[in-house]
Every structure is written in C-alpha cells, then in structure tokens.
Structure 1
Amino acid sequence: MSATTAVAPHARAITLEELVATAPLLTRTDRKYLIPTSRLDLVDHADPDLRLLTIGGLTTHAYSSTYLDTADLTAYRLAAHARASRFKVRNRSYLDSGLTFLEVKTRSARGETVKDRLDLSLASRGEHQRFAPTTVRLRTGHEIGPLTPVLEVTYDRTTYYLPASGSRVTVDTALTWRSTLTGRTLTLPGHAIVETKTTGRPCELDRLLWRDGVRPTRLSKYTCGLALTSDEPLHHNRWHRVVRDLQGLAATTTPSTTTL
C-alpha cells in the first residue's frame, strides 16, 4: 500500500483539492467491511475510471485520531444503545501534512453521517473550547460536560474516488488502538477496514463485496476499540459479532498488548 504498490495499479491520480470539490460527502451513508488484505484486489474492479488520492506523490497516508468523551462515556453509551442523537468527538491528525481538525460526527434525521470540523491551526483557544459542546448541542440537543481523551487510533489510509457513483472508498491498514484509560494496545495486521461513503445508494464496490460474500459490519473504530481495550466490561451488544470476530483474531504479545 504505497505509491508503487497501490491496490488498484490502473487508477489515475486525483488531488485532494479535486476530491473535496467533486465529492466532499460531509453528509453521507457509510458502509464498513472487515476483510483480509489479500482480498483488496476487489477495489480494482469497482470503477473503470477509478481515481486514487495522491498527495505529494504519496498514495497511502498516515492518520491519527484521538477520541474524546465525558467522564461517564456519554458518547460511547449513546452509541451502545443506538440512540438517534448519538455523537462522536475526535481530534483527527493527518500526519503527512501536519494538519489537525477537531471533528464532531452525528446522525441526520435520515440516518446519514454528518461531520462538522474545525481546523485547529486557524482556531482560537475559545473556538477550540466551544466547538464540540456547541456542535453537539445544536446537532443532538445534548448538553455535555468536559471532554477528555479516552482512545487513540492510528492507521494508514488509501482513498479512492469512484466517478460513476460519485462515491469515495477508504482502505485502512496497520490499525492500532491504544486506550488512554488503561494503556492497553491492540493492532490489526493482515486485515483492512474498507469503508464506502456514498450519497445513499450502494456503490459498485458494495455490490462486488456482497457478491463475494462480504457483508457490511457495525465496526466503529471508537466503540469497538474502547470495548476491546477496556479493563471493565462495557455494554457492546450492538457490536457483539464484530467484537467477537476481532477477539478471535487476537494474540497476546505482552501482558498489556494484544495483536489482532
């Protein structure tokens, strides 16, 4: 997964500016899949005009997300009980460029993902402090208390644009979770999280994966990662199958580190 070993070798480059202008998709339908990296060749057949995000000659980019929650894990618990007014808050860093955004993800009335973001390089201290509580209140009606870091997630991401459907596809590999509450760390070698981001209807990659027997899964990097790295049992009925699958892939490497 590099500039010379991309999953889709025939894909033409697309710049970040072109991608944002063509398919911003800040309100969208997301479908996630957990698949072995050996099956990523399916991406190559998703669109004859497949485009590959290329920035500074790089086609795979390092990401780091720090998820924030309240002391009683309000964001996690709302998600665990499938509340329509659930939210996630994270600091998202693009390690290759040095950019960092504070992001709030919520759900629209139609069940679509809505993402609001604040560029921290341009924000004042006051804007930084107000952005998440204000956005959560306006989007969900929840008044939330102070937020603190609870989970760090790092991974390498390759992003594709499918012109035929106006969709994006992200392929995340080398995933690592680290709980800031317990210090426990898990990694995910040999598997990728593939996510399709569409305006609603399934894109061709969704259909290719379905025909290959791969179905969407409720795989949230935040909620599943927190459940897996917690020292105390957290309610995770909604993600029982995927958490079980991830636990089945696990192999302990040290008393505090698990490899998935």
Structure 2
Amino acid sequence: MTTTPAPPLPAAVRAVGEAAGAAAPISLAEVNARAELMARFDRSYLVPADVFLAMARRLTDPRRPGGPFRALTIDGRRAFRYHSVYYDTPELRSFHDHRQGRRLRFKIRERVYQDSGERQFEIKLKGGRGDTVKHRRPLTGEDTPLDPPFRAFLADTLRDAYGIDSPPVLRPSLTTDYVRTTFVADGERVTCDVGLVCDDLRAGRSVRCAPGLVLVETKTAGHLTEADRLLHDSGVRPAVFTKYCGAYAALRPGLPGNRWRRAARHAFGAQCPPPGPARS
C-alpha cells in the first residue's frame, strides 16, 4: 500500500520552525519574570521567510552580546496555536476608533491558547505614551466575555483608564487563528506568527495570510529593539497592520480602512479586493 507524501510546509512555517529549533529554550515562568510586558510598545512587520530566518539567526546566536534570544518552550513545544474572538459594537466602533486614531480606543477579545485550553478575556488600551496596555481576566468553564462579571470588568477598566462608559451592546465580530513562536531576551519579546486566517463572523468571509510571510511583532517597554534594527537594515519597514483592522480592510473593502489597505494587500494578496464605495 502506497501512501501519499505530505505536502511541503509553507516557507514561513519552515523558517520559523528552523529558527525555533536552533534556539535555546526558555520557560513561560521565566518569560513572565523577564519580559511579561503588559504595558509595551508594539511594532508589526510582514517579513519574507528568508529575511526572517537571517534575522533570527543573528538574534539567537550564542555569541550575541548580552546573550541570545531564546524560544518559549512548554512541554517540548515551541509553536503554539492561538484562536481569538474579537468583540465590537454593531457599528464597529472599535474598528472606526482605531481608523480615526482616537486616543481613547480599545479592543476587546477572548484569546484561546488551543494547546493548553487556557482562555483569557482581554482588553487592549492605548496608553498616554502611545504604548499598548493590556488588562485580562481568565475565562473558565462556560464563561463568555458577555457574561455580567466580564462586562463589569470591562466597564470598570474603561471608566478607570479613560473615564468613559462601556458600549451597551457588543457582539462577536471577527476570529483569528494562527501559530505563534516567541523569542525572548531581557525586556524584549519577538512574536512570530504564521498561517494567519481571519474570519468575518458577520459577513461569512475569510482571508488567509500569504504562505511566505511571517507576521513579526517586536514588543518592548522602550525604544527600537535589535530585531527592529535588523529588519530595517534588510529593507523591511513597520507595517500599518493589526490582525483585527487589517483583516477588516481586506474582508470589507467598502469600509473606510485605507490606512491598512496597503499592508492588507501585502498580507492577503488577491484575496484583498480593491476598495469600493465607503460606508460605515
């Protein structure tokens, strides 16, 4: 009996797997102790697989001054499946607040760590310095972000941070699925996502990231990281891209999302149609 060979892995998956396999491990407890970064500056890049691999080799080199970046490792795993459900108002207030660059903007999501089953309710805010500040509470059993205790947590967080009321109506709007590998040094993290798939729960459409691209996010409490500088030296600049807003720019071309359109076309290619007439 003959067996059909498995299809080759996408270039981005191969590159991240090679980089993670060559790196020394670091435990989740040590990551949280050395680089938890609940308040941080994030920069996003859409990185070709070969450029990513060259950057990763520099960061994980044992001879790196200050010590090499290490790969988050849990139960022998270095790649982890993430599933997120984003919540927004019926008129997509969160999307439009980000589009307009409002200072008092927020994102609301349920994050599922599929390999462990852990679930978190997360609220991402914009801090006074332009940094990202994350607030979270664990979800257990049949909990959902729309249950009263989590609506109260959201209301308290928005009132305390911004002095504003929580939206009276929230609905699931978008899901994202991807595989993440994380490299860590003191005070710095580099997350590397591959296989990103975004589903518009209200319109019933989906888009998938190009197989040769790694979505790299640098996370630090301060200035440009070594990863940022290596990418800049390779001609890769920060992308105006977030999973939530970039996906909507691709999935709903009628939305006024021009600030993300270029990066969305880079990420999703022909799946990202040309913009149509703007509507709310």
| TM-score normalised by length of structure 2 | 0.82
Match of 1:179 among 197, 200, 220: 200
Question: Which shows bigger deviation, 136-145 or 79-88?
Answer: 136-145
Cα distance in 2 for residues equivalent to 1:153 and 1:196: 19
1:158-237 aligned at under 5 Å gives the runs 158-163=181-186, 166-188=187-209, 189-230=211-252, 233-237=254-258
Check the 8 A contact 1:46/1:208 in 2, yes or no: no
Match of 1:250 among 252, 255, 270: 270
Cα distance in 1 for residues equivalent to 2:130 and 2:31: 24
Q: Match of 2:56, as an amino acid?
A: V
1:94 equivalenced with 2:106 (yes/no): no
Check the 8 A contact 2:124/2:134 in 1, yes or no: yes
What does residue 91 of structure 2 align with? 72
What does residue 9 of structure 2 align with? none
1:17 equivalenced with 2:29 (yes/no): yes
Cα distance in 2 for residues equivalent to 1:73 and 1:137: 20
Cα distance in 2 for residues equivalent to 1:244 and 1:233: 15
- 1:69-101 Cα shifts (integer Å, max 9, x gaps): 011111111000001111100000000000010
Match of 1:111 among 112, 130, 150: 130
1:45 equivalenced with 2:58 (yes/no): yes
Cα distance in 2 for residues equivalent to 1:177 and 1:127: 28
Q: Match of 1:171, as an amino acid?
A: C
Deviation at 1:228, TM superposition (A): 1.4
Question: Which shows bigger deviation, 117-126 or 89-98?
Answer: 117-126
**Structure 2 SS opposite 1:250:** helix
Number of residue equivalences: 247
Deviation at 1:227, TM superposition (A): 2.2
Cα distance in 2 for residues equivalent to 1:182 and 1:147: 16
- 1:42-75 Cα shifts (integer Å, max 9, x gaps): 1221253111000111000000011100111111
**Structure 2 SS opposite 1:5:** helix
Q: Match of 1:105, as an amino acid?
A: K
Check the 8 A contact 1:44/1:50 in 2, yes or no: no
Check the 8 A contact 2:213/2:267 in 1, yes or no: no
Higher relative strand content: 1
Check the 8 A contact 2:190/2:216 in 1, yes or no: yes
Cα distance in 2 for residues equivalent to 1:183 and 1:12: 41
Deviation at 1:219, TM superposition (A): 0.7
Q: Match of 2:72, as an amino acid?
A: L
Where in structure 1 are there 5+ consecutive unaligned residues? 253-260
What does residue 36 of structure 1 align with? 48
Cα distance in 2 for residues equivalent to 1:201 and 1:168: 13
Q: Match of 1:52, as an amino acid?
A: A
What does residue 58 of structure 1 align with? 77
1:149 equivalenced with 2:172 (yes/no): yes
Where in structure 2 are there 5+ consecutive unaligned residues? 1-12, 273-280
What does residue 277 of structure 2 align with? none
Deviation at 1:162, TM superposition (A): 2.1
Deviation at 1:6, TM superposition (A): 3.4
Check the 8 A contact 2:59/2:69 in 1, yes or no: yes
**Structure 1 SS opposite 2:76:** coil
